[in-house]
């Protein structure tokens, strides 16, 4: 059986060792990137005075410059807070699978956006982004 020149182990073992080293390095890079994202989100939350869940909805709403100009920072924070509370209270484990539950959540989000006069021209896009965020957070909340 041929031996690996640097490890002295059989060649097959050397290949596995080397592959695991690469896999480990890739995993470490991804963990560092995730930690950085979490830290950035936490810092952003501190700057805005919002918990991480609410920051995600705030960002979804603030993605529209017209909304930021019309509503202002404080109203967007209020909307993000209300969306978070209502979605968290109404999300079930299988909500993403059942169209009737999705329709109910869509109506609830639209009602909240209308209540705060979120710009109607971009309201549908905001509803979609908010529901996507809610779907991503749904696993954490349930």
pLDDT tens for each residue of the chain, 142 residues long: 555 555 555 566 556 666 666 677 777 788 888 788 778 878 888 999 999 889 989 988 888 888 888 888 899 999 999 999 998 888 765 655 678 888 888 999 999 999 999 887 778 888 999 988 888 887 777 6
| Predicted local distance difference test score (pLDDT) of residue 85 | 93
| Predicted local distance difference test score (pLDDT) of residue 108 | 94
Are 49 and 75 within 8 A, CB to CB?
A: no
Identify any residues that bridge with 3 across adjacent strands, giving them in sequence order. Answer: 10
10: phi then psi, degrees, rounded to nearest 5? -55, 145
Alpha-carbon distance of 15 to 20, in angstroms, equals 9
3: phi then psi, degrees, rounded to nearest 5? -110, 145
Alpha-carbon distance of 127 to 107, in angstroms, equals 9
| Predicted local distance difference test score (pLDDT) of residue 7 | 55
Pinpoint the alpha helices (H) of 8-141. 11-48, 52-62, 65-90, 99-115, 123-141
| Predicted local distance difference test score (pLDDT) of residue 142 | 63
């Amino acid at each position: 059986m041929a031996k690996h020149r640097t490890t002295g182990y059989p060649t097959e073992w050397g290949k596995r060792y080397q592959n695991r080293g690469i896999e480990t390095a890739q995993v470490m890079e991804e963990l560092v990137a995730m930690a950085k994202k979490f830290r950035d989100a936490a810092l952003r939350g501190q700057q805005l005075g919002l918990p991480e869940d609410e920051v995600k909805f705030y960002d979804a709403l603030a993605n529209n410059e017209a909304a930021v100009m019309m509503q202002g920072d404080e109203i967007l924070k209020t909307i993000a807070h209300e969306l978070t509370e209502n979605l968290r209270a109404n999300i079930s484990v299988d909500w993403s699978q059942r169209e009737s539950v999705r329709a109910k959540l869509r109506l609830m989000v639209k009602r909240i956006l209308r209540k705060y006069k979120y710009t109607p021209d971009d309201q549908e896009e905001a509803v979609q982004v908010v529901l996507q965020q809610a779907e991503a957070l749904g696993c954490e909340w349930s």
